[in-house]
């Protein structure tokens, strides 16, 4: 009888121990996704923007956004081999964060009041401006010089709409499917300028096949504060990313990333912005 009581008690203790171990393991795994302690982190980027986020033929990723995202992920505790980049198109960014498809997004993601209703932002980490890409032997002094000129941008681009509405209402706007089409038209003389963010334009101008053929006009037609998008309500992640961005600036890794990705285009970048300083 005594033996049976001891066996039952031991079984009960074993059951409690196993249950506690299982619960403890589950909590650790669930916490790792937001704290940076997990084995893998998924980051949303663009994969078709040279100089910012580009997937190369060998399957690797390059660009300023990629360099920033990689630096941040390492500061969060992830080895580079455990970073998974995932294409996140502009229209899908908020959904990807809310569903948990990605842990954060670094993809020319301008911080706006409308977007802040759906996601939280760390940064900004780059202040870009709407500008024009023109042929190397051309010159544009201001937006008014565009009146009567042919502008090219991607279908639905707010940059092209802004130029036509606010800076050059008499400009001829052509909208196409991709920036590569605009570049071909610009090179052939079919259009006079390509318009979008200067950082994106610098990335294209830096490509080997375009070096010396194009230049940025240097018109600061708008302010675009690039931030890192995080799931709404994850303040812990925002704080950690902000700390990583501040360190990246302090140790000059930010300057190196700018030079590596935009240098060939002589991109006149703004100094690294201060965390939380949104330029209107």
Give residue 71's pLDDT: 98
Q: Could you give the 3-state DSSP secondary structure of residue 253?
A: helix
Give residue 156's pLDDT: 56
Q: Is the bond preceding residue 124 a cis peptide, omega within 30 degrees? A: yes
Q: Which residues of the chain have pLDDT under 70?
A: 1-38, 143-144, 156-158, 160-161
Question: Is domain 129-216 given the CATH code 1.10.3730.10 in the classification?
Answer: no
Give residue 158's pLDDT: 64
84 bridge partner residues: 42
Question: Is domain 41-127+224-265 given the CATH code 3.40.190.10 in the classification?
Answer: yes
- Rg of the chain over Cα atoms, rounded to whole angstroms, equals 24
Structure tokens at 56: 């190369």
pLDDT digits (tens, 9 = 90+) for 242-270: 999 999 999 999 999 999 988 777 788 89
Spatial separation of the C-alpha atoms in residues 25 and 133, rounded to whole Å: 54
Task: Mark residue 114 as left, alpha or beta (left: phi above 0; alpha: psi -120 to 50; beta: remaining).
Answer: alpha
Q: Model-level pTM? A: 0.77
Question: For the chain, where do the domains classified as CATH 3.40.190.10 start and end?
Answer: 41-127+224-265, 129-216
Spatial separation of the C-alpha atoms in residues 188 and 167, rounded to whole Å: 25
């Amino acid at each position: 009888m005594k033996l049976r009581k001891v066996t039952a008690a031991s079984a009960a203790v074993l059951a409690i121990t196993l249950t506690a171990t299982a619960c403890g393991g589950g909590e650790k795994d669930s916490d790792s996704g937001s704290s940076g302690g997990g084995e893998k982190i998924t980051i949303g980027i663009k994969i078709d923007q040279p100089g910012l986020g580009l997937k190369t033929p060998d399957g690797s990723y390059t660009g300023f956004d990629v360099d920033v995202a990689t630096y941040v992920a390492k500061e969060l505790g992830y080895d580079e081999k455990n970073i998974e980049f995932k294409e996140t198109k502009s229209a899908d960014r908020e959904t990807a964060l809310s569903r948990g498809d990605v842990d954060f997004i670094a993809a020319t993601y301008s911080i706006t009041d409308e977007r802040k209703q759906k996601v939280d932002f760390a940064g900004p980490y780059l202040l870009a401006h709407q500008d024009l890409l023109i042929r190397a032997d051309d010159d544009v002094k201001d937006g008014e010089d565009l009146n009567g000129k042919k502008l090219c941008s991607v279908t639905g681009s707010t940059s092209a709409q802004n130029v036509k509405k606010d800076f050059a209402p008499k400009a001829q706007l052509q909208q196409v499917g991709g920036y590569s089409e605009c570049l071909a038209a610009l090179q052939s003389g079919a259009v006079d300028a390509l318009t979008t963010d200067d950082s994106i334009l610098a990335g294209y101008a830096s490509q080997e096949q375009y070096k010396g053929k194009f230049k940025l006009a240097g018109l600061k037609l708008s302010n675009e504060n690039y931030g890192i998008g995080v799931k709404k309500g994850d303040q812990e992640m925002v704080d950690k990313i902000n700390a990583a961005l501040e360190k990246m600036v302090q140790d000059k890794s930010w300057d190196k990333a700018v030079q590596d990705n935009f240098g060939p285009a002589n991109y006149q970048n703004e100094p690294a912005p201060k965390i939380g300083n949104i330029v209107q």
